[in-house]
Amino acid sequence: MEKKIGFIGAGNMGSALITAACRGNDPKDVIITDYLLDKAKALADKLGCCVASDNVEVVRSAHYIMLAVKPQVLNSVIKEINPVLKECIETDKPRALVSMAAGVTIENIKKKLDIELPIIRIMPNTPVSIGKGMILLTSNNKEAVVSEKDFDQFISIMNAAGKFDRISEEDMDAANVAMGCTPAYAYMFIEALADGAVMTGLPRDKAIKYAAQAVLGAAAMVIESRHHPGILKDAVCSPGGSTIVGVAELEKHGFRSAAIQAVLGAYNKTIDLGKN
Ligand SMILES: NC(=O)c1ccc[n+]([C@@H]2O[C@H](COP(=O)([O-])OP(=O)(O)OC[C@H]3O[C@@H](n4cnc5c(N)ncnc54)[C@H](OP(=O)(O)O)[C@@H]3O)[C@@H](O)[C@H]2O)c1
């Protein structure tokens, strides 16, 4: 029986998405592979999904083909699977490609293929593994190659990942940086807050738990209250209190400027990666 979804690459992002796919579907509908097959086998043992011995087998077995490899190796993977994609389509086995490669446009991918098929470009983040992630989607809509049915079906297969938002491809690189990279910065922030709390005498486990829960709650406040973060910050800073002293220290040490530069640096790198 044909699988719903197949993954080429079971690294950091691939394994997070595979975990979400297995939670939202019968894991037997999910097939995965990786350059290091043992990595794919270990994940499949944990999740109960199927393993393909190579990339070609994934293409032969599944409708949606998730390209979860680094942008630097995407070209060689597309070259490798192009003949079997062609064979599938010619024998009436529709296939859709899903790319998450930072900076790589749909047009770039289309140029590498000598067949027409739906290509969905997504930008996920790693919290998809616990259902708290977000997947941004766009497609080669102009030619209407990706139908609404393709989109709906893909979203329903990946539903356990978290939230979804359709955006234009022009916004994808900026969105990659705002969303795909932010978990790393948030982890650093939580770790640094916990370091400070340990310096004041709190045990490490409690320091990490309290910092993480506070960041989680603050993020939920931004989303649910729909207030500007500055207003929410002001509400925590009582006059003459301790929080405003902390805010002033963050400003003194360039906190906001560092965050802005992180986003700009990651954006420039994303644009470079797309030039491969
Ligand atoms: N990490 C994130 O938070 C994040 C967020 C948004 C988007 N993305 C995108 O997700 C994609 C994957 O990134 P990642 O962070 O998951 O990278 P990663 O951890 O390096 O995972 C890529 C996996 O693909 C395997 N691989 C390499 N060449 C292969 C081939 N020819 N055939 C099959 N598998 C192959 C790698 O194996 P080896 O380790 O043996 O090379 C590795 O296990 C990238 O395009 C990235 O831009 C990542």
Q: What are 186-224's pLDDT values in tens digits?
A: 999 999 999 999 999 999 999 999 999 999 999 999 999
Note the pLDDT of residue 148: 85
Average pLDDT rounded to a whole number, residues 112-131: 94
Please tell me if the CB atom of residue 12 comes closer than 6 angstroms to any atom of ligand 1: yes
Give the model's pLDDT for residue 140: 65
Q: What pLDDT does residue 147 have?
A: 82
Query: Which of 19, 33, 35 gets mutated to test ligand 1 (max ligand atoms within 8 A of its CB)?
Result: 35
Q: What is the pLDDT of residue 276?
A: 65
* Closest among 127, 126, 139, 129 to 96, alpha carbons compared: 139
Q: Check whether 256 has a pLDDT greater than 60.
A: yes
Which CATH number is 3-168 given? Answer: 3.40.50.720
| CB of 27 closer than 8 Å to CB of 48 | yes
Domain made up of 182-273: CATH architecture: Orthogonal Bundle (1.10)
Nearest to 112 by CA among 150, 67, 149: 67
Task: Give the pLDDT confidence score for residue 142 in this predicted structure.
Answer: 58
Distance from the CA of 219 to the center of ligand 1, in angstroms? 28
Share of the chain above pLDDT 90, in %: 87
More confident residue, 146 or 224: 224
How many CB atoms sit inside 10 A of residue 234's CB? Answer: 13
Closest among 47, 65, 1, 22 to 39, alpha carbons compared: 47
What's the rounded mean pLDDT across residues 114-137?
Answer: 94
Give me the residue spans of the domains in the chain.
Answer: 3-168, 182-273
* Helix residue spans in the chain (DSSP H): 12-24, 37-47, 55-61, 71-90, 106-112, 148-157, 172-175, 182-199, 204-225, 229-236, 242-252, 255-273
Please give the model's pTM, rounded to 2 decimal places. Answer: 0.91
pLDDT of residue 267: 94
Distance 180 CA to ligand 1 centre (A): 14
Residue 176 binned pLDDT confidence (cut-offs 50, 70, 90): confident
Mean pLDDT, all residues of the chain:
94
Q: Is 101 in the pocket of ligand 1 (CB under 6 A)?
A: yes
Q: What is the reported pLDDT for 60?
A: 97
Pocket test for ligand 1, best of 69, 126, 273 (most atoms within 8 A of CB): 69
| pLDDT for 3 beyond 80 | yes
What pLDDT does residue 275 have? 77
Interval between CA 14 and ligand 1 midpoint (Å): 7
Q: Nearest to residue 125, comparing CAs of 136, 113, 133, 117? A: 133
Which of 70, 104, 181 for a ligand 1 pocket mutation test, highest count of atoms within 8 Å of Cβ?
A: 70
User: Ligand 1 centroid to 1 CA: how many Å?
Assistant: 27
